Amino acid sequence: MSAATHGGPPIRTAVVGLGWAARSIWLPRLRRHPGFAVNAAIDPDPASRAAVAAEFPDTPVLSAVHDTDLAQVDLAVVAVPNHLHCEIACGLLHKGVPVFLEKPVCLTSAEAEQLAEAERVGGARLLAGSAARHRADVRALLASVGDLGTIRHVELSWVRARGVPDAGGWFTRRRLSGGGALVDLGWHLFDIAAPVLGSANFSQVTGTVSGDFIARDSARVSWRAEKAEDGRGSAPGDDGGIDVEDTARAFLVTDDGVSLSLQASWASHEERDVTRVRIEGEAGSATLRCTFGFSPNRLEHPELIRTDEGRTRAVPVPEEPVGTEYDRQLDELLDQLRDPDRPRRAVDEARRTIGAIERIYSSARAAQEKTRSYRA
């Protein structure tokens, strides 16, 4: 059932965290969606509150969650910096407020268990997931999976030419972000793989990381103007240094034998920002080339091809404006909120994703330590 067919009043929504994502993605879309009504925008930073008040003068702007009457909130959209995701979401879930949590859902496996416990105790639903799964081209790719036979391999890459976010701010400090491109872009890629892999877990994981571009001014993101996310990002003992990767590469194998290769890069030697997803099965393969996100340095049109028996053919892909996937994601959220019998998958998928990310980082650290010992 689509959101347009739902009856009932709009979902009363509080947006927690008023950074770039909230101001550019969530607030405008929530306000124009007939299924939602924004009744609170919350952020401790006065500048962020002032920016929202100026742009959306009819939206109540508050400095803290406890200033909000949670009895009047049907959904909290949490878009705070990464290191606050678990804390804010758990607090709301414990109070019985359903939460949609921006990626990354959590930064450690321990946080995934905290979210699971908060969901259980509060009885409220945790919702999460990448908007990329709701792109028309990704949907067309996933729809082709059933024709590929038994899946053997999935290739996932999101490589930006230039696109290091907020260099020197919380995005590039591990204690606050949880990691670099792997956490930021890789979470989207794992989310796309989830419908293909089903409930299988990863039995083998190896990976490597590098940071050849991250400190270069020329590699910084160009389409989002954002300060170093204020004091919310600072933590005791933080020196403000850059200590995350701009590129991560990994190879994983599920316990039922499906292999997965992944590359996530904030910056590279490439000319364009390109996302590539290839699914190989016993009966053929399907490959999508496009550009995820809002970068203006993108492929002009998405390309989806199908190959089998030595023949390759183009598959028509609907064209849509950049960002349409977020509108479609709101439709899906509305369906989930108004259907209590929908399965609760967010925590299970988060467990697998963060578990894989932790193991990639562990593998990368082990390789780096071995390299240092050889050089010593």
Stretch 42-52: mean pLDDT: 97
Stretch 216-221: mean pLDDT: 90
Whole-angstrom distance, CA of residue 83 vs CA of residue 344: 23
* Helix, strand, or coil (residue 110): helix
Here the tokens at position 159 are: 């490589």
What is the reported pLDDT for 369? 80
What is the reported pLDDT for 225? 56
Cβ–Cβ contacts within 10 Å for residue 7, how many? 5
Whole-angstrom distance, CA of residue 268 vs CA of residue 273: 9
All structural domains of the chain with their residue ranges: 3-130, 132-326+357-365
Question: Which ranges of the chain would DSSP assign to H, the alpha helix?
Answer: 20-21, 27-32, 46-55, 85-94, 109-122, 136-143, 174-177, 181-184, 186-197, 324-337, 346-375
User: In percent, how much of the chain has pLDDT > 70?
Assistant: 92
User: Which of the residue ranges 196-200, 233-237, 368-372 would you say has the lowest mean pLDDT?
Assistant: 233-237
Q: How confident is the model at residue 372 (pLDDT cuts 50, 70, 90)?
A: confident
Here the tokens at position 149 are: 């036979």
pLDDT: which is higher, 255 or 8: 255
Stretch 161-186: mean pLDDT: 92
Whole-angstrom distance, CA of residue 99 vs CA of residue 127: 6
- The values of phi and psi at residue 105, to 5°, are -60, -35
> Could you report the per-residue pLDDT of 147-173, keeping only the tens digit for each?
999 999 999 999 999 999 976 689 999
The single residue listed with the structure tokens 């910096």 is 81
**Is pLDDT of 247 > 60?**
yes
**Is pLDDT of 238 > 70?**
no
**Is pLDDT of 271 > 80?**
yes
Residue type, 261: S
DSSP string for residues in 178-233: SSSHHHHTHHHHHHHHHHHHTTPPEEEEEEEEE-SSTT-GGGB-SS----S-TGGG
User: Which of the residue ranges 129-143, 199-213, 218-232, 301-315 would you say has the lowest mean pLDDT?
Assistant: 218-232
Q: How confident is the model at residue 373 (pLDDT cuts 50, 70, 90)?
A: low
User: In percent, how much of the chain has pLDDT > 90?
Assistant: 84
What is the reported pLDDT for 167? 64
CATH number of 3-130: 3.40.50.720
CB 124 within 8 A of CB 151: no
Could you tell me which of 140, 126, 24, 35 has the C-alpha nearest to residue 78? 126
Stretch 46-64: mean pLDDT: 96
Q: pLDDT averaged over the chain? A: 92
Render the burial of 94-121: b for 16+ CB within 10 Å, e for the rest.
eeebbbbbbbbbbbebebbebbbebbee
Residue type, 185: L
> Could you report the per-residue pLDDT of 123-139, keeping only the tens digit for each?
999 999 899 999 999 99
Q: Could you tell me what percentage of the chain is helix, strand and coil, using 3-state DSSP and rounding each to the nearest 5? A: 40, 25, 40
Q: How confident is the model at residue 258 (pLDDT cuts 50, 70, 90)?
A: very high
Cα–Cα separations (whole angstroms), residue 229 to 59, 167, 183, 222, 234: 22, 11, 18, 16, 9
What is the reported pLDDT for 226? 52
Q: How confident is the model at residue 343 (pLDDT cuts 50, 70, 90)?
A: confident
CB 22 within 8 A of CB 79: yes
Q: How confident is the model at residue 1 (pLDDT cuts 50, 70, 90)?
A: very low
Q: Do domains 3-130 and 132-326+357-365 have the same CATH topology?
A: no
The CATH homologous superfamily to which domain 132-326+357-365 belongs is Dihydrodipicolinate Reductase; domain 2 (3.30.360.10)
